[in-house]
Amino acid sequence: MENNLKEKPLNTPHDLIVDILEKSYDNKSKSIRNNAIKNMKFNVPQGQFCCLVGPSGCGKTTLLNLLSGLDENLNGIIKYQDGSIPKDWPIGYMFQEPRLMPWLSVKQNVTIVTQQTSEEIELSENLINEMGLSKYMDSFPSELSGGMQRRVAIARAFVNKPKILLLDEPFISLDETVGNLLRQMLLKLWEQQKTTVIFVTHDLREAIYLSDRILFLSKGPSRIIHDFNININRPRKLNDKELDSLRIELISNHPEILSGKI
What Cα–Cα distance (Å) separates residue 173 from each residue in 187, 212, 216, 222, 247? 19, 24, 22, 25, 21
Q: Contact between 60 and ligand ADP (CB under 6 A)?
A: yes
Point out which span in 9-17, 57-65, 85-93, 182-190 binds ligand ADP (CB under 6 A). Answer: 57-65
* φ and ψ at residue 44, rounded to 5 degrees: -125, 110
Nearest distance in Å: CB 29, ligand ADP? 12
Site string for ligand ADP, 6-45 (x = CB under 6 A): -------------------x--------x-x---------
Nearest distance in Å: CB 64, ligand ADP? 8
Question: CB neighbours of 61 closer than 8 A, spacing ≥ 6?
Answer: 168, 200
| Furthest CA-CA distance within the chain | 56
- DSSP H helical ranges for the chain: 60-68, 106-111, 118-130, 146-158, 176-193, 204-210, 241-253, 256-259
Nearest distance in Å: CB 149, ligand ADP? 22
Nearest distance in Å: CB 61, ligand ADP? 3
Q: Contacts with ligand ADP in 193-252 (CB under 6 A)? A: 220
Distance from C-alpha of 36 to C-alpha of 57, rounded to nearest angstrom: 9
Point out which span in 14-22, 59-67, 132-140, 177-185 binds ligand ADP (CB under 6 A). Answer: 59-67
Point out which span in 58-66, 74-82, 103-111, 244-252 binds ligand ADP (CB under 6 A). Answer: 58-66
Q: Contact between 170 and ligand ADP (CB under 6 A)?
A: no
Q: Contact between 74 and ligand ADP (CB under 6 A)?
A: no
Q: Contact between 57 and ligand ADP (CB under 6 A)?
A: yes
Q: List 25's β-bridge partners, or say none.
A: 34
Nearest distance in Å: CB 117, ligand ADP? 35
Nearest distance in Å: CB 219, ligand ADP? 9
Alpha carbon 202 to chain centroid distance?
Answer: 12
Q: Contact between 186 and ligand ADP (CB under 6 A)?
A: no
* φ and ψ at residue 26, rounded to 5 degrees: -75, 140
Nearest distance in Å: CB 63, ligand ADP? 7
Distance from C-alpha of 232 to C-alpha of 205, rounded to nearest angstrom: 13
Distance from C-alpha of 197 to C-alpha of 203, rounded to nearest angstrom: 16
Q: Contact between 58 and ligand ADP (CB under 6 A)?
A: yes
What Cα–Cα distance (Å) separates residue 213 from each residue in 2, 8, 152, 222, 225? 10, 12, 26, 18, 13
Where on the chain is the footprint of ligand ADP (CB under 6 A)? Answer: 25, 34, 36, 54, 56-62, 220
